[in-house]
Amino acid sequence: MTAETESLEPPLAPPPEAGLGRLGHAAYWIGSAGLLIATAADAIAVAGRHTGFHLLGSIEVVQAAVVLIASSAMVAATIVGAHASVHILTERLRPATAERLARGAALLGALLFLLVAAGSIWVASDLWSGFEQTELLGIPLRWLRMLWIAAALLIAVLFLRSAFVRAAGRHSA
């Protein structure tokens, strides 16, 4: 009944990230960079406002940084299995049955992120030649869309792997 919360908070045991691989590390780096950029952009904008120097477009910087944060955060949450779920039934089932349900849930997770990736690719391809960019700073959005698509695909793969690893674990047990 505790899986849903295990990685929620700092006081709980650090999650098993040992084998998260290069992509996982990249996700953490990108997300951390996003957090620092977002912090800096707004903090500098505030400081600037009070000292007369002006940073126009800080909102756009934060928006771009948030894409980095959110994309990599979803990858990170998937790596450690931090997605909130209800365990009212599964914890009362026989382990084998619960295992099968968990595998099914992981497959559904993979399906969802494949669908979302497909939808995002479709939207991005519509706008690919449309020079999508932010208003003031002209930050090109297509690369941010690409980053999100890559993240969604990676999340789907992580869900698939989790379904597969569970299956393997069950066979060897």
Sites for other proteins among residues 66-105 (CB under 8 A): 66-67, 69-78, 80, 82-90, 98, 101-102, 104-105
| Residues within window 107-136 making contact with other proteins, judged by CB under 8 A | 108-109, 111-112, 115-116, 118-124, 126-127, 130-136
3-state secondary structure of 133: strand
Question: Which residue number, 146 or 164, has a Cβ lying nearer to other proteins?
Answer: 146
- Give the CA-trace dihedral at 119, 64, 69, 50, to 10 degrees: -150
- Measured in Å, how far apart are the chain's first and last C-alpha atoms? 22
By CB under 8 A, the count of residues binding other proteins is: 91
160 makes contact with other proteins (CB under 8 A): no
| Residues within window 30-69 making contact with other proteins, judged by CB under 8 A | 31-32, 35, 38-43, 45-46, 49-50, 54, 56-57, 59, 62-67, 69
Contact 159, 153 (CB under 8 A): no
Which of 143-171 are b and which e, b meaning 16 or more Cβ less than 10 Å from the residue's Cβ?
Answer: ebbebbbbbbbbbbbbbbebbeebeeeee
Minimum Å gap between C-beta 21 and other proteins is 15
Interface pick for other proteins out of 21, 94, 143, 145 (rule CB under 8 A): 145
Q: Strand pairing partners for 133?
A: 140
